[in-house]
Amino acid sequence: MHYGLNSVAPMPVSPACGEPVLGIKGLRLQIGDTAILHGVDLAVHEGEAVGIVGESGSGKSMTWRAALGLLPKGASTSGEVTFAGRNILATAEHDLEGIRGRRIAAIFQDAASALNPIQRVGSQILESLRIHRSLNGAAAKAEMLRLLDQVGIVDAANRSRAYPHELSGGQNQRMAIAMALAGNPEILIADEPTTALDPTIQAQILMLLKRIQLERAMSVILISHDLGAVAALCNRVCVMYAGRIVEDAPTAELLSKPEHPYTRALIASIPPLSGERKRLQAIGGEPPDPRHMPKGCAYAPRCSSLSEECKESIPAPVCLRGSHSIRCFTATRALGLAP
């Protein structure tokens, strides 16, 4: 679904100051012989909602999976991922269990797959409360009902006795969110949480995430191919292309002053919600195959602002103003910031 950029509510001022809750620096991921992530930098501060947007295969999911040490077979990482004073990439697997799922929780596109099909949803949430917070009996039940109420499940006591197949996609996603919240996480990662849902339900789930994020002052990382959805929830947007973050800016600034040609193309491809209907511009060409990356900027083969330099070298991130950075030779030169 597209929300239209003019539907975006004003974001609270980004609380991005001080030490980040999650700090990703120079994260590289290699699967077999193929480099997938080429030095991703991402800082998520307390109470901040950060969006990662980009086309399919750009490395959005791999970024958070690699950051949490959830690697596919044959994969290796380098770089630094700091959470709660430790480098996750250097932390033993058994020590990560207290972090993953509890202090950093995740929800996915397919909510039903996060839930056990043969167990009532309420008892699954009770189990999470027991594992993550040692809650049992009446206290656990009261907390489970409070969580269901918080995620907007009507008639929570009755609905908690349902099996996942008896619930709609939207209700299952609400249940999955309640499960994720059971450990009182500091960070919630939402990986395409609305993609499988009907348009009206998508908007409801996004608004729910935004309400919960603000109520709990929780950090959220929203992964999406839909810039409109990211803009509706996030204070800050990171645009990802071929395993690199190519633009990182506060949402309002990214939408009003996009600098990277890829970000501009993404914005141009979103339909306006109202006003004059105009033809959408599809982004021409395909993202590169990670096994055959171009020598220079990965976006060069599709870029309309190309210079010779772009074909030869990979642009480093340049800070434009405040917390707005881009990787683009042409844009930085046009802004008078090229070396």
Ligand X SMILES: Nc1ncnc2c1ncn2[C@@H]1O[C@H](COP(=O)(O)OP(=O)(O)OP(=O)(O)O)[C@@H](O)[C@H]1O
Give residues in contact with ligand X (CB under 6 A): 31, 36, 54, 56-62, 72, 225, 290
Q: Minimum CB separation from ligand X for residue 246, in Å?
A: 13
Which is it for strands 236-241 and 49-53: parallel, antiparallel or unpaired? Answer: parallel
The number of C-alpha atoms within 13 Å of 134 and in the hemisphere containing its C-beta is 1
Q: Which is nearer to ligand X, 36 or 328 (CB)?
A: 36
Cβ proximity to ligand X, 62 vs 140, nearer residue: 62
- Alpha helix segments (H runs only) across 29-136: 60-67, 93-96, 111-114, 121-133
Residues whose CB is less than 8 angstroms from the CB of residue 38 and which lie 6 or more positions away in sequence, other chains included: 28, 242, 243, 244, 314
User: How far is it, in rounded angstroms, from Cα 316 to Cα 294?
Assistant: 16
Nearer to ligand X, 81 or 148 (CB): 81
List the 34-44 sheet strands across, edge first. Answer: 34-44, 22-31, 75-83, 86-87
**Which phi and psi angles does 237 have, rounded to 5°?**
-125, 135
Min. distance of Cβ 161 from ligand X in angstroms? 34
The CA distance from 257 to 286, in Å, is: 25
Q: Which is nearer to ligand X, 64 or 83 (CB)?
A: 64
CB nearer to ligand X: pick between 57 and 272: 57
CB of 308 to ligand X, least distance (A): 28
Please identify, using beta-carbon distances, which residue of 36 and 148 lies nearer to ligand X: 36
Measured at the CA of 116, the angle between CA 98 and CA 104, to 5 degrees, comes to 25
**Nearest-angstrom CA–CA distance, 338 and 24:** 26
- Which is closer to ligand X, CB of 258 or CB of 290? 290
E runs forming strands in 54-165: 75-83, 86-87, 104-107
Q: Which residues contact 145 (CB under 8 A, 6 or more apart)?
A: 156, 157, 160
Compute the least distance from the CB of residue 162 to ligand X, in Å.
29
Contact 297, 308 (CB under 8 A): no
Query: Least distance (Å) from ligand X to the CB of residue 247?
Result: 15
Helix axis angle, 169-181 relative to 199-216, nearest 10°?
20
- Please, what is the minimum distance in Å from the beta carbon of residue 110 to ligand X? 12
Nearer to ligand X, 49 or 62 (CB): 62
User: Residues 6 or more apart from 158 whose CB is under 8 A from it?
Assistant: none
- Nearest approach, Cβ of 286 to ligand X (angstroms)? 12
Cβ at position 287, least distance to ligand X in Å: 8
